[in-house]
Structure 1
Amino acid sequence: MEINSLSLPSCRMPILLKDSHSGSPQQQNKLIWWQNEKGVIGGKDNSVDCSSLAQNSSRKRMIHQSDGSLHDIKVEGYMPKQTSLCVSMLYYTENGFFPQAQTLWEQLVNSSFVPSVQFISRLFDAYAKHRKFDVVIDILRYVDMRNFSILPDVYWLAISCFGREGQLELMEDMANEMASSGVHIYSRTANAFLLYYSLFGTLEEMENTYGRLKKSRFLIEKEVIRAVASAYIKERKFYELGEFLRDVGLRRKNVGNLLWNLMLLSYAANFKMKSLQREFIGMVESGFRPDITTFNIRALAFSRMALFWDLHLSIEHMEHTKIIPDLVTFGCVVDAYLDRRLGRNLDFALNKMNLDDSPRLLTDPFVYEALGKGGFQMSSEAFFEYKTQRKWTYRSLIQKYLKKHYRKNQIFWNY
């Protein structure tokens, strides 16, 4: 008979697992999860970086050899017997042998086992892969009952584990439990909440979560900014995206040009050209140096609006600032002229660009989410997929595309 959860003594933590498999939490059950009656719970995050530990740990699966030995999973820092039990348990868990994993866990618990963050991280990943969320909670209970110092890290691992699988209600319950137990909720945990709500929640849930993060004065991280922006872009909510970016603060230096580029994109997607130009000037005056993504956002808008003079000025500005055009830049010029049946003027349009360079694609992918890919870019990427020894240049790609473009307008009659 399969054992669905680890048998552990009871402790002060209540049952958190819900029957619902939905990733959307019930709004009325939410709390301000990093605030209690004494005020805000938070502070400087001095705990172990679980993310790097989890990424650096080996994830190779063991292979049963004829002699019964297990290989390729490294667990260090324990007594030899505990190391053997940990290695075996990881193997059984990752391969779905839960009764055997349960037996080994009981042996570890009875041997005064002190788990490491790395080991628990890998266990959580394995159980989450098989959607054994009740076991994740039971492991957390054990750490909480023994009052190990790694408890804040394990809470964060559990929240991240639930979030990656879209279990937003479990994630919310876990944070509420942290606050009621007096465990500090640090910036990385708050950012994890916003990240997973932006990936799996509704826009309203995401905005409410951002409001809670903002109230607690935590700084939103670069990865989370991208996720929130992507959620707005998917729903074509460009005005709301702009308001979010202004609220975060466009002058933040620690995220590079990301905020400014997203702001420019919010205007370019709606073809608000005056606002686009005004924000671009504001970006430069604020001390930010435009990059290839910045220029290509403008070039795509100019191309779609057939603003040839602005497009040429933008390319000259790129040359002046020593920004090398990429495939998207060339595509803006080619598509703009061909869409207006001005293909004969392409030589004049491209004379300031090096046609013999090897094609490169350096534009941030979020640009395609909002503006899509042009015909030249899609055609060129299709050529790249062919496993040929040919060395492509912009010149050869343009020649191929022109030939394809002119042929599609011809009518062939079958007699």
Structure 2
Amino acid sequence: MEIQSLLAATPTLPPPRLRPTLKMVRPNVLCRWRDSENRALARKIILQWKQDRGFDQKNSDAACAALVQALSRKRMPHLAQELLLEMKSEGFLPGTSTLSALMLCYAGNGLIQQAQAIWEEIINSSFVPSIQIVSELFDAYGKMEQFDDVAKIVDQVSSRDFNLLPEVYSLAISCFGKGGQLELMENTLKKMVSRGYIIDSSTGNAFIRYYSIFGSLREMENAYGRLKRSRLLLEKEGIRAISFAYIKERKFYKLGEFLRDVGLARTNVGNLLWNLLLLSYAANFKMKSLQREFVRMVEAGFHPDLNTFNIRSLAFSRMSLLWDLHLSLEHMRHEQISPDLVTYGCFVDAYIDKGLGRNLNFALNKMNLDDSPLLLTDPFVFEVLGKGDFQSSSEAFLEFKSPREWNYRKLIAVYLKKQCRRDQIFWNY
């Protein structure tokens, strides 16, 4: 019998709860295996191991680590511990790979105290943990909201002055931020700066993102001000995060101020800044300002993309500006940009709302109705302007059948039939 067969014959236990308490030091689900059974199975595995590949210190550390990882996936940390004890009795001294695997096995299965004990054994020895191991450990602790233990690990690494300390600080900031622990994230950043380490762009932008998600607008704005003073460049994800925070609060004027402050002339983020600015005007249907900024965008040397056109088309459709819709479509064709489901929906909704359903072919003949439907518009657009009736109806159909089975012609035909029936039901009453 091979080792994998032995593992396959062992039942996989359910995962531990993600909100641990002190009682989770010995989870009930892990008590199904008695120590004697664990010990017997561990001996069988070692015996089979000797028969299969031999057993020596040089080659067994990586193989043992892989075996512990397999046991971790099967939710059997106690068996992993018994296996290690049996191997020690055979004269095997666990290396950094085996100890790291066992530590992550404990952490991933809710055995926090045991994981912490292995961690202290690692850092008190001559072993230096890799940054990948620290990252996985922080992820496991973060999922179980053991943020105090993460802070303790950072302090331990700091007291030993390992070379990986700057990266550990960055990982801790990310871990605290994902968990909404803004105070811990702030304190870690201050410690990092006090030790003379430079905040890189990735850490600074992550700091902004988490403040935009979990903090107030004022806290987010203060964090952005600090990023500017540090002369770090706000990257694409940071711009999106701050913009989304303003959009959630419907602060479109502040959104426009922020975008201008970042700099509309920046080309390394594509059309993102301009599209968000156009969206801030479309939100309140300030059509003259929308058109003026669109002209400025083109004059600045930026080429409109699908999001640019769909932001304008949605505003034109809601305001029933059919002529502007047609001009926008002509401009799209000139820029060689193919319309998506949102673009088609703008025309269908606008003509239906104006009671011009019979004239819809005038617009649709300029579009390829035999294309498979695609939705390529940035979700930010829907956060501000919502979805049109045709788009919402079509997405419901596409949930049940593959887009390859549909084309725009079929979707529009089904939608028009649905509208016709709805009108007939109305008049019957």
Task: State the TM-score bracket (shorter-chain normalisation).
Answer: 0.7 to 0.9
**Unmatched 5+ stretches in structure 2:** 1-20, 26-68, 82-92
Tell whether the 8 Å contact from 1:318 to 1:324 is kept in structure 2 after alignment. Answer: yes
Shift of the 66–335 alpha-carbon distance from structure 1 to 2, 3 Å rule, reads closer
Q: Does residue 312 of structure 2 align to residue 298 of structure 1?
A: yes
TM-score (norm 1): 0.81
Shift of the 105–96 alpha-carbon distance from structure 1 to 2, 3 Å rule, reads same
- Which amino acid in structure 1 is aligned with residue 253 of structure 2? Y
Tell whether the 8 Å contact from 1:2 to 1:99 is kept in structure 2 after alignment. Answer: no
Return the match for 1:228 from 239, 242, 252.
Answer: 242
- Which amino acid in structure 2 is aligned with residue 115 of structure 1? P
Query: Partner of 2:172 in structure 1?
Result: 158
Query: Partner of 1:312 in structure 2?
Result: 326
RMSD: 2.6
CA–CA distance in 2 between the matches of 1:229 and 1:313?
Answer: 29
After superposition, give the CA deviation of every residue in 1:372-409 in whole Å (9 maximum; x if it has no partner): 00000000100011146971000000011111112122
Tell whether the 8 Å contact from 2:372 to 2:403 is kept in structure 1 after alignment. Answer: no
After superposition, give the CA deviation of every residue in 1:145-188 in whole Å (9 maximum; x if it has no partner): 11111111111110110001111111111112222232322222
After superposition, give the CA deviation of every residue in 1:279-329 in whole Å (9 maximum; x if it has no partner): 111111111111111100010010001111000000011111110000000
Superposition pairs for residues 362-377 of structure 1, below 5 Å? 362-377=376-391
Instruction: State the Cα distance separating 1:238 from its structure 2 match.
Output: 0.8
- Which amino acid in structure 2 is aligned with residue 62 of structure 1? R
After superposition, give the CA deviation of every residue in 1:48-106 in whole Å (9 maximum; x if it has no partner): xxxxxxxxxx9995326799459xxxxxxxx9622111101101101101122123223
CA–CA distance in 2 between the matches of 1:340 and 1:179?
Answer: 61
TM-score (norm 2): 0.78
Return the match for 1:63 from 68, 71, 74.
Answer: 74
Tell whether the 8 Å contact from 2:71 to 2:80 is kept in structure 1 after alignment. Answer: no
Query: Partner of 1:342 in structure 2?
Result: 356
After superposition, give the CA deviation of every residue in 1:336-394 in whole Å (9 maximum; x if it has no partner): 01111111110112110011110011111110001000000000100011146971000
Query: Partner of 1:237 in structure 2?
Result: 251
Return the match for 2:143 from 129, 151, 155.
Answer: 129
Tell whether the 8 Å contact from 1:335 to 1:376 is kept in structure 2 after alignment. Answer: yes
Query: Partner of 1:405 in structure 2?
Result: 419
Shift of the 414–322 alpha-carbon distance from structure 1 to 2, 3 Å rule, reads closer
Q: Does residue 182 of structure 2 align to residue 168 of structure 1?
A: yes
CA–CA distance in 2 between the matches of 1:81 and 1:267?
Answer: 61
CA–CA distance in 1 between the matches of 2:77 and 2:384?
Answer: 55
Return the match for 1:352 from 356, 366, 376.
Answer: 366
Structure of greater relative contact order (alpha carbons < 8 Å, 6+ residues apart) = 1
CA–CA distance in 2 between the matches of 1:164 and 1:67?
Answer: 30
Secondary structure at 1:344 match in 2: helix
CA–CA distance in 1 between the matches of 2:191 and 2:119?
Answer: 24
CA–CA distance in 1 between the matches of 2:333 and 2:355?
Answer: 26
After superposition, give the CA deviation of every residue in 1:117-161 in whole Å (9 maximum; x if it has no partner): 111111001001111111111111121111111111111110110
**Unmatched 5+ stretches in structure 1:** 6-57, 71-78
- Higher helix proportion (structure 1 or 2): 2
- Which amino acid in structure 2 is aligned with residue 280 of structure 1? F
Query: Partner of 2:204 in structure 1?
Result: 190
Secondary structure at 1:410 match in 2: helix
CA–CA distance in 1 between the matches of 2:297 and 2:70?
Answer: 43
Length, aligned pairs only: 355
Tell whether the 8 Å contact from 1:284 to 1:290 is kept in structure 2 after alignment. Answer: yes
Instruction: State the Cα distance separating 1:205 from its structure 2 match.
Output: 1.0
Query: Partner of 1:53 in structure 2?
Result: none
Query: Partner of 2:299 in structure 1?
Result: 285
Instruction: State the Cα distance separating 1:213 from its structure 2 match.
Output: 1.0
Return the match for 1:209 from 223, 226, 229.
Answer: 223
Return the match for 1:142 from 134, 156, 178.
Answer: 156
CA–CA distance in 2 between the matches of 1:3 and 1:412?
Answer: 62
CA–CA distance in 2 between the matches of 1:399 and 1:313?
Answer: 25
CA–CA distance in 1 between the matches of 2:402 and 2:224?
Answer: 48
CA–CA distance in 2 between the matches of 1:407 and 1:200?
Answer: 47
Query: Partner of 2:32 in structure 1?
Result: none
Larger Rg: 2
Identity %: 64
Query: Partner of 1:392 in structure 2?
Result: 406
Tell whether the 8 Å contact from 2:142 to 2:179 is kept in structure 1 after alignment. Answer: yes
Return the match for 1:262 from 235, 254, 276.
Answer: 276
- Which amino acid in structure 1 is aligned with residue 390 of structure 2? F
